[in-house]
Amino acid sequence: MTQQSRTPLAAPGPGRRQVVGRLFGLGAAALAAPVLTACGGATAASDPKTVTFGSNGADATPKAAYAAVTEAFTAQSGLKVKTNTVDHDTFQKTITSYLQGTPDDVFTWFAGYRMQYFAKKGLCSPVDDVWEKIGDGFSEATKQLSRGADGTYYFVPLYTYPWAVFYRKSLFRERGYEVPRTWDQFVALAKRMKKDGLFPIASGYGGGDTWSVLGAFDYLNLRANGYDFHTSLMRGQVSFTDRRAARVLDLWRELTPYYQPSGGGRSWQDAAQTLLDKKSGMAVIGLFLGQQITDDAVRADIDFFPFPEVEPSHGQDTVEAPTDGFMLSRRPKNEEGAKKFLEFLGSARAEETYMRADPSNLAANEQAGTGSYNALQKKSAQLIESARHISQFADRDSDPGFVSTVLLPGLTEWLSHPDDGSATLKKIESQRSRFFTA
Amino acid sequence: MSAASSPSRLGRGDRLFLAAVIGLPLLALLVFVWLPALASIVLSFTTWDGIGLSGIHVTGIDNYRQIFTNYPPFWPAVWHNVLWLLFTALLPTPFGVFLAYQLDRKIRFTRVYQTAIFLPMVLSLAVVGFIWEIIYNPDTGLLNSLLSAAGSAHHIDWLGNPHLNLWAVLVASGWRHTGYIMILYLAGLRSFDPALKEAAALDGAGGRQTFFRIVLPALKPVNIIIVVVTVMESLRAFDIVYVLGGGTGSKPGMELLSLLITDNIIGESGHIGYGSALAVVLLLVSLAAIGTFLVQTFRKEDS
């Protein structure tokens, strides 16, 4: 250290106490800042010309699609939309505190139990008056999805997409496979594929993708035990040690030898890629699989069949078709504008605008033009139309906390060594009352 | 400056100033650390969904009873935390000390080695998680590619297999921990008087004897820091498991107390009371571990 570098210490400057005092003032200001901003946030932004919109569509495709929709709304109504986009998973995890803080006027959410839960807790506003204007565009089943347990509307749906068993047409043609309709045919086909050196069923539920196993679980339960039992099971009204629940794992165990190995460490996208590459024969997945496809020739070659029938009495009468849409927060800053925005979002025009930018979904509004639909979308629409019941998805039909902290860990652990499942079901059952008493 | 000339007498202004300088940080500590901790303890005797204060219902020790008797992931999580501590204390920590000792000798390129070993420490644990995620990927990962190149047909699901994944994570965390310990110890060794070592050598002590009899006891302050750091890192282990588990909470085979807390508190339908009870359990365990250790070391020093 040179002498020169020491000089500043000796140089006349602010005294010690002055410096400490200033630091101290800074500290106090830092401590007070959150309080002050919190006060400011509550009163600001009550501009009648602006509607705030909380969106979970952070991926490029939905983000662009929502941007197109909000622009169209601004052009039509003269109201500005301030979009606040949050990563999909983060949005979900923080939803409780988000809705209790200063949420945006309108926010994206899911139909089903998951919507009804917040409606019951009073964290969102009813939108009956919006539905008086948009009601004609929706089917009875969709209307049902948009109502809370009290029969009031809380939700404006935008799009839906079915879950099914996807495959490549050319692969089935080359190998002479036939689309199975019953469970026995399905298992036999899987067996044949394995003999042919394919992974019969693509499997990727690693990392944050554990939810993807729920599609198979839901469908097995729906096919073996029917929609009513599935709903009661997911809402915690039936014991998980019920022999009907045990049957689901028994059926699943017939299929697990044909799952692609090491699924627990693979993402669903990597698993889907093996289907596109014809390394896997089939995949139980949603229409969003389409987002993985970049080559249009491959897109035209993808097809699906409904999950096969297990019990003839239930047939293939239920389709799992999660529906996404919008809700109104409990104390919107610009209620009038927000309702206008919701009306627009429920219109055929908004649907068409959205679908143009994101073609891997189906419009919930029946009046929306389907002319731009590709073959898969058309077939999906038919599948949903023909369904007697529409289920959402396990984590939307049930308490999401129960699904993510009890059901999913239980099922993924079981999948890594599928036994008769009695221990797994007992573990799940032991936690049920903790989630479904209130 | 009007400071009083006599050090024993403090003026009114000085006293006010001192009160403010000590009082306000104390207040901040109370408000931001102890109040939340106390609130957690209070909440742990209630059930609350996190919506509105009217939703809080007192349930006594019900949460604790549930956790200890009827919560499948709890005992595995406790065991995994213990395993984490044992593993970190027995492998990466001594290895870090060993590396530091070797690097302290005047070998060539010691700077290069130091930098290389310390580099993982510069990365946050979350980033370390992302790196190892790529290594452990079942299809395209480095590890399975090497194995298949070596002729093994086995496809190992490092992060998916509940019997393997904890070890996979421990290796990743150890990779980083080694560098941390090395740099801490190296700093200690640099301040170590080489004359002591020379004296030991003159007295005929071998390399190992010098280390265990001379260097290790002389570096007691650094040793304490290393033990505290190791225990703390093991108890608060969270981020790397969270990232390698896909960022959705605890996964079979990788449950940790810290993850169970967030499982129950963060999420759509939170169980704040239940999660708080878990947090209190972790708090008690941490206090016991750190407390015992500190009391022991300081008692020895006093006597």
**Residue range A147-154: average pLDDT?**
92
Residue A28 scores a pLDDT above 80: no
Contacts of A289 (CB under 8 A, 6+ apart): A166, A272, A275, A283, A302, A360
Comparing A383 with B297, the larger pLDDT belongs to A383
Asked if the A163-320+399-435 domain carries CATH number 3.30.1490.190, the reply is no
**Residue range A251-273: average pLDDT?**
92
Q: Do A404 and B17 touch (CB under 8 A)?
A: no
Residue A13 scores a pLDDT above 50: no
Contact, B221 vs B298, CB < 8 A? no
Comparing B2 with B231, the larger pLDDT belongs to B231
Q: Looking at the structure, do residues B127 and B82 belong to the same domain, yes or no?
A: yes
Could you tell me if B29 lies within 8 Å of chain A, comparing CB atoms? no
Distance CA A293, CA B241 (A): 31
- Identify which of B253, B298, B272 has the alpha carbon closest to the alpha carbon of residue B80: B253
Average pLDDT, chain A: 86
Which 124-143 residues of chain A touch chain B by CB within 8 A? Answer: none
Contact, A64 vs A352, CB < 8 A? no
> Quick one: pLDDT band at residue A2, thresholds 50, 70, 90?
very low
DSSP state string for A53-77:
EEE---SHHHHHHHHHHHHHHHHHH
Contact, A244 vs A224, CB < 8 A? yes
pLDDT tens-digit readout, A210-248:
899 999 999 999 999 999 999 999 999 999 999 999 999
The C-alpha of A318 sits at a distance from chain B's nearest C-alpha, in angstroms, of 27
Comparing B6 with B53, the larger pLDDT belongs to B53
Q: How many CB atoms lie within 10 A of CB A197?
A: 7
Question: What's the confidence (pLDDT) of residue A385?
Answer: 86
- Identify which of A400, A114, A434 has the alpha carbon closest to the alpha carbon of residue B277: A434
Question: B135: number of CA atoms within 13 Å, CB side?
Answer: 13
Could you tell me if A114 lies within 8 Å of chain B, comparing CB atoms? yes
Name A280's bridge partners. Answer: A199
Residue B6: inside a domain, yes or no? Answer: no
> Quick one: pLDDT band at residue B205, thresholds 50, 70, 90?
confident
Q: Looking at the structure, do residues B219 and B161 belong to the same domain, yes or no?
A: yes
**Residue range A30-36: average pLDDT?**
44
B140-163 burial string, b = 16+ CB within 10 Å, else e?
Answer: ebebbeeeeeeeeeeebbbbbbbe
Q: Looking at the structure, do residues B245 and B274 belong to the same domain, yes or no?
A: no
Which 114-153 residues of chain B touch chain A by CB within 8 A? Answer: 133, 136-140
pLDDT tens-digit readout, A184-195:
999 999 999 999
Q: Looking at the structure, do residues B129 and B275 belong to the same domain, yes or no?
A: no
Residue B266 scores a pLDDT above 60: yes
Q: Do A117 and B25 touch (CB under 8 A)?
A: no
Question: What's the confidence (pLDDT) of residue A319?
Answer: 93
Which 90-109 residues of chain A touch chain B by CB within 8 A? Answer: 92-97, 100
Structure-token match 């044992």, residue found? B86
Residue A252 scores a pLDDT above 90: yes
Could you tell me if B16 lies within 8 Å of chain A, comparing CB atoms? no
Question: What's the confidence (pLDDT) of residue A180?
Answer: 96
Question: What's the confidence (pLDDT) of residue A202?
Answer: 96
Q: Do B246 and A409 touch (CB under 8 A)?
A: no
- Identify which of B232, B238, B105, B128 has the alpha carbon closest to the alpha carbon of residue B181: B232
Write out chain A residues lying below 8 Å of B158, CB-based: 265
Question: What's the confidence (pLDDT) of residue A4?
Answer: 37
Question: What's the confidence (pLDDT) of residue A37?
Answer: 40
**Residue range A10-16: average pLDDT?**
44
Residue A171 scores a pLDDT above 80: yes
Question: What's the confidence (pLDDT) of residue A1?
Answer: 35
Q: Looking at the structure, do residues B116 and B212 belong to the same domain, yes or no?
A: yes
Question: What's the confidence (pLDDT) of residue A411?
Answer: 94
What is the 3-state composition of chain B as percent helix, strand, coil, each rounded to the nearest 5?
Answer: 70, 0, 30
Q: Looking at the structure, do residues B215 and B280 belong to the same domain, yes or no?
A: no
Q: Looking at the structure, do residues B169 and B207 belong to the same domain, yes or no?
A: yes
For residue B137 the two structure tokens come to 């990927």
Residue B2 scores a pLDDT above 70: no
pLDDT tens-digit readout, B271-284:
899 999 999 999 99
**Cα-Cα-Cα-Cα dihedral sign, residues B253, B258, B259, B264:** positive
Residue B1: inside a domain, yes or no? Answer: no
- Identify which of A222, A204, A364 has the alpha carbon closest to the alpha carbon of residue A289: A204
**Residue range A289-315: average pLDDT?**
91
Q: Do A208 and B72 touch (CB under 8 A)?
A: no
Biggest alpha carbon–alpha carbon distance for chain B: 83
Mutant choice from A262, A327, A412, A430 vs B, greatest count of B C-beta within 10 A: A262
**DSSP letter (8 states) at residue A1:** -
Q: How many CB atoms lie within 10 A of CB B15?
A: 10
Comparing B117 with A27, the larger pLDDT belongs to B117
Q: Do B72 and A114 touch (CB under 8 A)?
A: no
What residue spans of A277-361 are helical by DSSP H? 296-301, 335-345, 348-357
- Identify which of B67, B62, B32 has the alpha carbon closest to the alpha carbon of residue B279: B67
Domain residue spans of chain A: 50-160+323-385, 163-320+399-435
Distance CA A390, CA A154 (A): 19
CATH number at residue B165: 1.10.3720.10
For residue A226 the two structure tokens come to 């029917």
Write out chain B residues lying below 8 Å of A434, CB-based: 66, 271, 274
Could you tell me if B24 lies within 8 Å of chain A, comparing CB atoms? yes
Q: Looking at the structure, do residues B134 and B268 belong to the same domain, yes or no?
A: no
> Quick one: pLDDT band at residue A43, thresholds 50, 70, 90?
very low
Question: What's the confidence (pLDDT) of residue A3?
Answer: 36
Distance CA A168, CA A145 (A): 32
Distance CA A21, CA B81 (A): 44
Q: Do A264 and B49 touch (CB under 8 A)?
A: no
pLDDT tens-digit readout, B119-176:
888 888 888 888 998 999 888 888 888 888 776 667 788 888 888 899 999 999 999 9
Q: Looking at the structure, do residues B113 and B146 belong to the same domain, yes or no?
A: yes
Q: Looking at the structure, do residues B55 and B120 belong to the same domain, yes or no?
A: no
Q: What angle do CA A202, A89, A275 make, to 5 degrees?
A: 15
- Identify which of B181, B168, B187 has the alpha carbon closest to the alpha carbon of residue B89: B181
Could you tell me if B164 lies within 8 Å of chain A, comparing CB atoms? no
Write out chain A residues lying below 8 Å of B246, CB-based: 206-210
Q: How many domains does chain B contain in total?
A: 2
Could you tell me if A264 lies within 8 Å of chain B, comparing CB atoms? yes
Distance CA B226, CA B93 (A): 8
Domain residues for the domain of B296 are 40-60+255-303
Residue B10: inside a domain, yes or no? Answer: no
**DSSP letter (8 states) at residue A111:** S
The C-alpha of B247 sits at a distance from chain A's nearest C-alpha, in angstroms, of 6
For residue B144 the two structure tokens come to 């399975």
Judged by phi (left if over 0) then psi (alpha if -120 to 50, else beta), residue B50 lies in left
Q: Do B160 and A262 touch (CB under 8 A)?
A: yes
Q: How many CB atoms lie within 10 A of CB A263?
A: 27
The strand ranges marked E within A161-238 are 163-168, 199-201
Residue A93 scores a pLDDT above 90: no
Question: What's the confidence (pLDDT) of residue B274?
Answer: 92
Distance CA B166, CA B253 (A): 6
Question: What's the confidence (pLDDT) of residue B167?
Answer: 94
> Quick one: pLDDT band at residue B54, thresholds 50, 70, 90?
confident
Q: Do B268 and A114 touch (CB under 8 A)?
A: yes
The C-alpha of A171 sits at a distance from chain B's nearest C-alpha, in angstroms, of 22
Which 406-435 residues of chain A touch chain B by CB within 8 A? Answer: 409, 412-413, 416, 427, 430-431, 434-435
Q: Which of B21, B138, B263 sits opposite A265 (nearest CB)?
A: B138
pLDDT tens-digit readout, A313-340:
999 999 999 999 999 999 999 999 999 9
Contact, B231 vs B85, CB < 8 A? yes
> Quick one: pLDDT band at residue A344, thresholds 50, 70, 90?
very high
Burial of A30 (0-12, 13-18, 19+ CB in 10 A): exposed
Q: Which of B28, B50, B252 sits opposite A412 (nearest CB)?
A: B252
Per CATH, A50-160+323-385 and A163-320+399-435 having the same topology is answered yes
Q: Do A210 and B251 touch (CB under 8 A)?
A: yes
Residue B220 scores a pLDDT above 90: no
Could you tell me if A315 lies within 8 Å of chain B, comparing CB atoms? no
Q: Looking at the structure, do residues B90 and B151 belong to the same domain, yes or no?
A: yes
Q: What angle do CA A116, A122, A126 make, to 5 degrees?
A: 70
Residue B302 scores a pLDDT above 80: no
**DSSP letter (8 states) at residue B91:** T
Looking at domain A50-160+323-385, which CATH architecture does it have?
3-Layer(aba) Sandwich (3.40)
Q: Looking at the structure, do residues B81 and B148 belong to the same domain, yes or no?
A: yes
Write out chain B residues lying below 8 Å of A17, CB-based: 1, 3, 17
Strand, coil or helix: A305:
strand
Q: Which of A94, A95, A409 sits opposite B250 (nearest CB)?
A: A409
pLDDT tens-digit readout, B240-258:
898 888 877 788 889 999 9
Q: Do A266 and B160 touch (CB under 8 A)?
A: yes
Which 170-209 residues of chain B touch chain A by CB within 8 A? Answer: none
Question: What's the confidence (pLDDT) of residue A310?
Answer: 96
Residue B33: inside a domain, yes or no? Answer: no
Write out chain A residues lying below 8 Å of B1, CB-based: 15, 17
Contact, B279 vs B44, CB < 8 A? yes
Enclosing H/E stretch for A52: strand A50-55
Distance CA A37, CA A22 (A): 22
Question: What's the confidence (pLDDT) of residue A41?
Answer: 40
Write out chain A residues lying below 8 Å of B52, CB-based: 100, 121
